[in-house]
Structure 1
């Protein structure tokens, strides 16, 4: 992307804040991306991201080193900011009982229903940020406590976080976020909600985005249902300074998307996703599969995030070995059908160039 084209973006705040050439942020997608996707997007001028919530410190170090060796560009490290759940043996027992017929069908043992494999940001991870000094640190499910957040800011990182409502966006801006990611209901993966967990009332992106842009002074990054240049241009028209794209990268060769997940994405339709809490205990959008259809996508007896995942692990492993995605979370947004099996860098460059074309046309121009 030339500097001439770069200068044509109608809002440069995200470009200047993050030190990138095109205002496209790759969404951090735990389980579906590592440094390879981040490198491809960064080399194309966008902001690459590494999802850290499911990685131990040594793996995070290795992924950052891999990125630094390949790309002289900013990097976003993403963390979860949820409160660790209180152990509740009764809730876990009820969840295992709900799944009992599947254990019997597949001939597996419920095993240990503790854990969940998703660690919240803590002092150990904060020290890692201070050591690795990423240019950007982003959070999902709110922000860490003030002391940890202050340390992140002192490390030199710009701080981003997701908001699903105007109230959440204001809360984040008041606490010093450098930019807010406005996550519409269309978005794949976990909802970033933290003030109000009632997903039934959370707005779609085109309703949320202009209201957030009016409510906060910091740059707003649009996320949810954006999978092509037209969506990028529309987001800018509604007040975005950048976009965050996830699902549209899931079929790229650089993504680590599991084979069964890729196969499901190839068959995706506009009405193929739903919000579900069955897989982790928090609402997340994914492609419908057997578990979601038979139990209903939202359950009242699901243990709190992230504990629900452990009881599903043996079912998922047995089903995957048999070639079925019945118990596997197939995270995807509502625009999953637009995802392409093409290199991530090529897509990023094309989206940026085509979005600039759409923006240059202006309203009503052919």
Structure 2
């Protein structure tokens, strides 16, 4: 199915959330309710991705996609990583665990592209950059539509020039990682400002994402020219979500009052709840995925202890509206609210 037709039929998308939140159960629930669910290939092996796609398909779900991280260039300086190791020594002592090895890798890029060409899932999307034209064409020949996450008009134009079927416009309100090609020059515009400019600049379908939590939010971006709306944080507290229990609880905890963009957990900018770790480790250190690998044992230990102070609590600016309800009920609520604004989703 062409991307434009898929989005017209299912204009409500559950965002891919790497790190465990996106599960086959969540994808199936959203798709079963009339939306489009997404698996996240980031941080998973190609075999893990294959197993998840198989689980989705065995459950009878056909409206879904897979998101892939585009490899980042090696930019980390050894001295800078040494300074970070010193800075994180207290965290290591706090949780009684060693820091991870700050290695650079491509997140099994080639294996995942090969796999997705074999699996021919309906939609493959990319974050952290735009693949070259040959990769996009290969996926298209395999039967998959493609879409690139963009944070600026310039990024959107690059994606279109290389042959993407669509772009996903991410506003600064979005939870989790910024999808910019280069975090040092990526966009930081609110979605209502950025979306119309991208819609005007490109001739492909546009999906809007960033801080969308209600049906009124969805209606607003559709009215602004988007073909579909993508929501992540709105589904984080669903029982089908694989987010850590402490993460789900923090979204409703009155002690957490705001979000901020932090580089501390992964070496790339990402929006999450402001907790102890975010406050104690400020600064913009571009060293991805080295920092991700270095802090991973800390985050895992904090999660095992149920300590939200040391976890990456990714969340969009509208996080307080997240509800602990089944995904099918979230979709139904969004649909009712959008209908009240004159939009059928």
Fold match, TM over 0.5?
yes
Within a 5 Å distance, the mapping from 1:237-252 to structure 2 comes to: 237-252=223-238
Question: Which of 301, 311, 315 is the equivalent residue of 2:294?
Answer: 311
Structure 2 residue matching 1:77: 3-state secondary structure? strand
Contact persistence 1:28–1:49 (CA under 8 A): yes
Structure 2 residue matching 1:180: 3-state secondary structure? strand
Contact persistence 1:270–1:336 (CA under 8 A): no
Instruction: Name the residue aligned to 1:167.
Output: 154
Instruction: Name the residue aligned to 1:85.
Output: 74
- Cα 1:136–1:314, aligned 2, differ >3 Å: closer, same or farther? closer
Report the alpha carbon displacement of residue 202 of structure 1 after superposing the two structures with TM: 1.5
- Cα 1:314–1:72, aligned 2, differ >3 Å: closer, same or farther? closer
Instruction: Name the residue aligned to 1:149.
Output: 136
Question: Which of 241, 250, 263 is the equivalent residue of 1:264?
Answer: 250
Tell me, which stretches of 5 or more residues in structure 2 are unaligned?
A: none
Residues in 2 aligned to 1:180 and 1:268: alpha-carbon distance in whole angstroms: 35
- Cα 1:305–1:120, aligned 2, differ >3 Å: closer, same or farther? farther
Q: CA offsets, 1:217-274, max 9 Å, x none?
A: 1111110111110101111121111100100000001100101101111126995100
Report the alpha carbon displacement of residue 198 of structure 1 after superposing the two structures with TM: 3.8
Instruction: Name the residue aligned to 1:9.
Output: none
Instruction: Name the residue aligned to 2:275.
Output: 289
Contact persistence 1:81–1:121 (CA under 8 A): yes
Count of matched residue pairs: 342
Residues in 2 aligned to 1:331 and 1:223: alpha-carbon distance in whole angstroms: 15
Instruction: Name the residue aligned to 2:312.
Output: 329
Report the alpha carbon displacement of residue 360 of structure 1 after superposing the two structures with TM: 5.7
Q: Which moved more, 1:89-98 or 1:127-136?
A: 89-98
Within a 5 Å distance, the mapping from 1:127-146 to structure 2 comes to: 127-146=114-133
Q: Does 1:357 align with 2:344?
A: no
- Cα 1:102–1:176, aligned 2, differ >3 Å: closer, same or farther? same
Q: Does 1:211 align with 2:194?
A: no
Question: Which of 301, 322, 329 is the equivalent residue of 1:346?
Answer: 329
Residues in 2 aligned to 1:69 and 1:129: alpha-carbon distance in whole angstroms: 17
Residues in 2 aligned to 1:294 and 1:232: alpha-carbon distance in whole angstroms: 35
Contact persistence 2:208–2:221 (CA under 8 A): yes
Q: Which moved more, 1:26-35 or 1:259-268?
A: 259-268
Tell me, which stretches of 5 or more residues in structure 1 are unaligned?
A: 1-12, 362-366
Instruction: Name the residue aligned to 1:5.
Output: none
Q: CA offsets, 1:150-191, max 9 Å, x none?
A: 211211111111111111112212221111111000000110
Structure 2 residue matching 1:49: 3-state secondary structure? strand
CA RMSD of aligned residues (A): 2.3
Question: Which of 23, 26, 45 is the equivalent residue of 1:37?
Answer: 26
Structure 2 residue matching 1:326: 3-state secondary structure? helix
| TM-score normalised by the chain length of structure 2 | 0.92
Contact persistence 1:91–1:303 (CA under 8 A): no
